[in-house]
Amino acid sequence: MNKQKTVEKTKDEIKTEEKASLTKIKRGMKAAAARIHQKTKDGVVRVTSGTYHEELSVVGATIKDVVSTYADSLDLHPECVAVVNGNPENADYVIKQEDTLIFVRPSGEKG
């Protein structure tokens, strides 16, 4: 019985550590988005994917529009996740002037 309690406790500890890690990642992404946004010009949104960083006139477009237009030039992975101002967003999200758009590859994917 003690062994089972130890295993359950370990699972709970792991869940707590995972939540803490995700919180740190989310804070870091929001901070990075804020720093990037400070450097953009009016009418232009900073778009990042891996090593690619572009300032694009995409205000008013949806994420789906950005993906279809810039998939090749930004080397977007087909299953990439769009993160706007540190928060994951769906393909129908309309980009606003103050947004920073970052495309993130799924975990475990190389190059």
Tens digit of each residue's pLDDT (9 = 90 or more) over 4-49: 555 566 777 777 777 776 676 666 666 666 655 554 456 788 898 9
Name the percent of the chain lying above pLDDT 90: 28
Burial 13-40 (b: 16+ CB within 10 A, else e): eeeeeeeeeeeeeeeebeeebeebeeeb
Question: Are 101 and 82 in contact, with CB atoms under 8 Å apart?
Answer: yes
Cβ neighbours around 110 below 10 Å, total: 4
Task: Write down the pTM of the prediction.
Answer: 0.59
Q: What does residue 43 show for φ and ψ, rounded to 5 degrees?
A: 80, 0
> Average pLDDT of the chain?
79
Class of domain 2-104: alpha beta
Whether the per-residue pLDDT at 3 is higher than 60: the answer is no
pLDDT band at 92 (very low <50, low <70, confident <90, very high): very high
